[in-house]
Amino acid sequence: MNQLITFEGADGCGKSTQLQLTTAWLRHQGKQVLQTKQPGGTPLGVEIRRLLLSGEFTPIPECELLMFLADRAQHVKEVIQPALQAGVWVLCDRYSDSTLAYQLAARGLDEKLDLTAMLAFAEAGCVPHQTFWFDVSIETAMLRLEKRQQSGEPSNRLDDEAMAFHQRVHQAFGYIYQANQERMIRLDASASIETIQQQIQQIIQKKIRC
């Protein structure tokens, strides 16, 4: 049975590489796969992504949260739900756990808000069957980000946040994992690309057999 699988982790954790490898491998297994991402998985979402991440604007935390949720709501209804209904495997780079880590925890909105109902509203019933969390030390993540920047790859507005922000994101993912172990698999993101990919394939292989 096809599934919605999400890839989560702090900036610079290496999840996007693994997402691409997993997509290629699943297709090789004869599965139909949609590889997508948040924010920016729809034409409207591409615009929301630009507004959120280009650095042209600095939304207040409340606005930032609502824009990520708006992107997700559009993406779920326009792309993810129809794909799942058509039997396609959906691999999504970031989903609601990112909102919990970045907006709720790192931006400190958790003191003001119970986000559960809002997350569910945007997800419209499309809850991930499985989430891979790429657990990377804050030092490694920052080094990878620096390297990316040195190689000329442009950083986004959130990459450029202070170290303390990234630390809060990192810590939040740990808490989210503790609370959702039936759905989330922790992967040691300091392992080699090949080792991590093998672990992912083994886990998905079991699902394919079910």
Residues lying near ligand TYD in the complex (CB under 6 A): 11, 16, 37-39, 53, 68, 93-94, 98-99, 102-103, 156, 158
CB of 123 to ligand TYD, least distance (A): 12
Residue nearest to ligand TYD (CB): 102
Identify which of residues 118 and 158 has a Cβ nearer to ligand TYD in the complex: 158
**Residue 207: Cβ-neighbour burial (10 angstroms; 0-12, 13-18, 19+):** middle
Comparing CA positions, the residue from 46, 37, 41 lying closest to residue 16 is 37
Identify which of residues 102 and 133 has a Cβ nearer to ligand TYD in the complex: 102
Q: What is the DSSP letter of 191?
A: S
In angstroms, rounded to a whole number, what is the distance separating the alpha carbons of residues 62 and 57?
Answer: 14
Identify which of residues 86 and 124 has a Cβ nearer to ligand TYD in the complex: 124
For the chain, the first-to-last Cα distance in angstroms comes to 8
CB of 26 to ligand TYD, least distance (A): 20
CB of 105 to ligand TYD, least distance (A): 10
Q: Three-class SS of residue 37?
A: strand
Identify which of residues 25 and 165 has a Cβ nearer to ligand TYD in the complex: 165
